[in-house]
Amino acid sequence: MPAPLVPGTPCTVTARACADLIGLQAWLFQDGRILRGPVPISIGDELDPTPPGRYAVEWKAKDWVSREYGTPMPYSVFFAPGGIAFHEGSLQTSSYGCIRMQRDNAAAFFDYLQVGDEVQVHSDAPAVG
């Protein structure tokens, strides 16, 4: 039987971070409860989509600059293949697949998430509840 959902989110209680690609919002969870969120996010576009799925935090870098695009990625928390991360960035434009958020939220995700923590990224309809 699958783990229950965190009420009001599309993610299960096993996640430490959750992103909803349809609703453009993200959360941090602790023991199946919302610790922070929903916070607004921007994501990739059709050419560079943000990949849905279940991942684990791979590594973190506070002052990272993208090797591929040369753009700053403050408070990066890398979790998916291809350098996909949560990080600080504009909410007004799409990313190259990363999940961008405002500085205070990016810093909170950076400080809270640790290597190995489960990240869930959903592109289906959000849960009701």
pLDDT at 125: 54
What tens-digit pLDDT sequence spans the chain (129 residues)? 778 999 999 999 999 999 999 999 999 999 999 999 999 999 999 999 999 999 999 999 999 999 888 999 999 999 999 999 999 999 999 999 999 999 999 999 999 999 999 999 999 854 444
pLDDT at 129: 43
pLDDT at 128: 47
DSSP sequence for the chain: -PPPBPTTSSSBTT-SEEEETTTTEEEEEETTEEEEEEEE-B-B-SSSPPPPEEEE--EEEEEEE-TTT--EEEEEEEEETTTEEEEE--SSS-BSS-EEE-HHHHHHHHHH--TT-EEEEE-SPPP--
pLDDT at 89: 97
The CATH code that applies to domain 17-122 is: 2.40.440.10
